Amino acid sequence: MKKLLATLITLALLLTSAAALAETVPAINWEDIDIESTGIEGSWYTFDTIALQIWVPDIFVNADITEEDGEGVIAKFQAPDGSAGIFGQIIEGYKGATMEDVIKRLTENGATEIERCTLNGLDAISYSIPDTDAAYVTFVTASGNFVQFIFTPVSDEGFAAVAQLVTASIMPEK
């Protein structure tokens, strides 16, 4: 499994000016992505309650959220055959926490491949959890909510590339 953030950083560095190289924390910006060149059609989804928007390829169905999905789930996009999914969740229990606090908690809970970046202006962390076939991105929104997106399965290289594009699109609501 390739590191989600490593690939995103590479993509961002290839597409951005030399100024991105001077950043101490890598910056990923949707405006630097030429989505038309990918040939992937997508739609924007807005989450007003947390002032966030995300682009998702049209192949994914915006599925209904059920009680079984768990608390705080705000987004559930699935491939029609159920082979891949993108899930968004508000994370409780982090009010007043810093990203360093989040990194410490993730480390204590066994997360690996923890990387920090700025994602369209949002302070973000990507990571893996051993024995899962998923990539995680956690960030704090302008509204002060901690949100995480989960992409699965990242062992599928095609889906992993799509997950990278979707991750690069996460941004404050315009």
The pLDDT tens digits for 75-85 are: 999 999 999 99
pLDDT tens readout for residues 94-109: 878 888 999 999 999 9
| Residues in Cβ contact with 115 at an 8 Å cutoff, skipping those fewer than 6 apart | 3, 5, 6, 9, 125, 126, 127
Nearest to 28, CA basis, from 123, 159, 128, 98: 123
| Boundaries of every domain in the chain | 4-172
What's the pTM?
0.82
User: Which CATH number fits the domain 4-172, given the four candidates 1.20.1630.10, 3.40.1000.10, 2.130.10.10, 3.90.1150.10?
Assistant: 3.40.1000.10
